[in-house]
Amino acid sequence: MRRAQRDLLNLYDWICADSSDTALTWYRGLRDAIRSLRNDPNRCPMTPEDRHLKHLLYGNKPNVYRVVYRVLEKHKQVDVLHVRHGA
């Protein structure tokens, strides 16, 4: 399993421990936000760590999640590398 998928499942499990309804709504919203990158993958800013990577912020404080990804221009694809809590 890819690291980003593990990140996402771990975050889902953590949220689910508090509320399964909240976790499912969160998961679907984040999934849709990631899928929306297909339409305009360059809309998000570069990460401060690496100018070849971009990041999408999802949610509202204090529950902001950071999706780190790279744009594979040659293949017109987005490769999600990590999903982390933004705190």
Q: Which residue has the higher pLDDT, 37 or 13?
A: 37
Whole-number pLDDT of residue 1: 55
Global confidence as pTM? 0.84
Alpha carbon distance 50, 11 (integer Å): 24
Question: Which domains are seen in the chain, by residue range?
Answer: 3-85 (3.30.2310.20)
What tokens does 35 get?
A: 């899928």
Encode pLDDT of 37-87 as tens digits.
Answer: 999 999 999 999 999 999 999 988 888 999 999 999 887 789 999 999 886
Whether 43 and 57 have beta carbons less than 8 Å apart is answered as no
Which residue type occupies 29? G
